[in-house]
Amino acid sequence: MTEQLLADWFAAHPRLLVITGAGCSTEVGIPDYRDEQGQWKRPQPVTYQAFMGDALVRKRYWARSMLGWRVMGQAQPGRAHRALALLEQQGRIELLITQNVDGLHSAAGSRSSLDLHGRIDTVRCMDCGRRLARSQLQQSLLARNPHWAQLYAAPAPDGDADLEHENFSAFEVPACPHCSTGMLKPDVVFYGESVPRERVEQAMAALERADGLLIAGSSLMVYSGFRFAQAAARQGKSLIAINQGVTRADDLLEFKLEMDVGQALLSMARAT
Ligand code: OAD
Ligand code: ZN
């Protein structure tokens, strides 16, 4: 019944703008940010201002990030990513906008994807602007911090809970390898930072050309993604969501399927 509704909508809207979120990657072990009621469920995120202004904040960030790379660095695409790559091959997707920084849509083969919030596998120097691969920085973080490298090799059973007893101030973060002094930052949009304007313009232009907007695995609580739902509604375009839980766009939706996003998208990709 519900899949039929989705199939009919797909048939009626042949060129889609798709916006994806963390719900597309939970299946492959990357946790989402909010629960089904839309409430934040992770530790407080680091803001851009705190990261740029406080060396201890940066040390804590990179220490945790170095350990978290165990999951993030190994993750492989899941069903939602594979299904969206298939739908693109079938000519169904005008543009895939993702709020995720994990790069898994590209890894699954999506070509026309826009990383709205950047990519966690890339690091940028805040002085010279040059980039380097996060995996290269990971080697350097492990080499400079043998105590943390041990934690990386043998994770504590209760994960991050133990980390508060650690001495973060001793954690060493290398400077940019290109200019040798610059401060490194993950190439992702932090809280307190805005999405680069050209990305928003590219997404808005694609929305103009699309017949409908599909929201997949996102609460859309963050304005940077929500604005596309607002714009679609203003243009009188149909928008739907496949999401287990509330979305900020609920009032604007033609309908919402509260089902597993990987399962739903794969059945659409196989049906066409
Ligand atoms: P959220 O965590 O806010 O929303 C993910 C949604 O997916 C939730 O409603 C989950 O219930 C739902 N969900 C989880 N697994 C699912 C599954 N298998 N099938 C269907 N639904 C599922 O994540 P986003 O909306 O992506 O920003 O969050 C947007 C932004 O908030 C992120 O990009 C991040 C964060 O602050 C930045 O880092 C700048
Ligand atoms: Zn530099």
User: Is pLDDT of 110 > 60?
Assistant: yes
- Name the token pair of 203: 């997404």
- From the candidates 13, 81, 105, 117, which is the catalytic residue? 117
CATH number of 1-30+77-117+194-272: 3.40.50.1220
Q: What is the pTM of this model?
A: 0.96
Which stretch of 69-83, 92-106, 161-175, 209-223 has the lowest confidence by average pLDDT?
A: 161-175
Tens digit of each residue's pLDDT (9 = 90 or more) over 80-91: 999 999 999 999
Quote the mean pLDDT of the chain. Answer: 95
Neighbours of ion ligand 2 (CB under 5 A): 125, 127-128, 176, 178-179, 182
Query: Does the interface predicted TM-score (ipTM) exceed 0.90?
Result: yes
Is the CB–ligand 1 distance for residue 26 below 6 Å?
A: yes
pLDDT digits (tens, 9 = 90+) for 193-248: 999 999 999 999 999 999 999 999 999 999 999 999 999 999 999 999 999 999 99
- What residue owns the CA closest to ligand 1's atom 14? 23
Ligand in closest contact with the CA of 129:
2
pLDDT digits (tens, 9 = 90+) for 23-57: 999 999 999 999 999 999 988 899 999 999 999 99
Domain range summary for the chain, segments of one domain joined by +: 1-30+77-117+194-272, 46-74+121-188
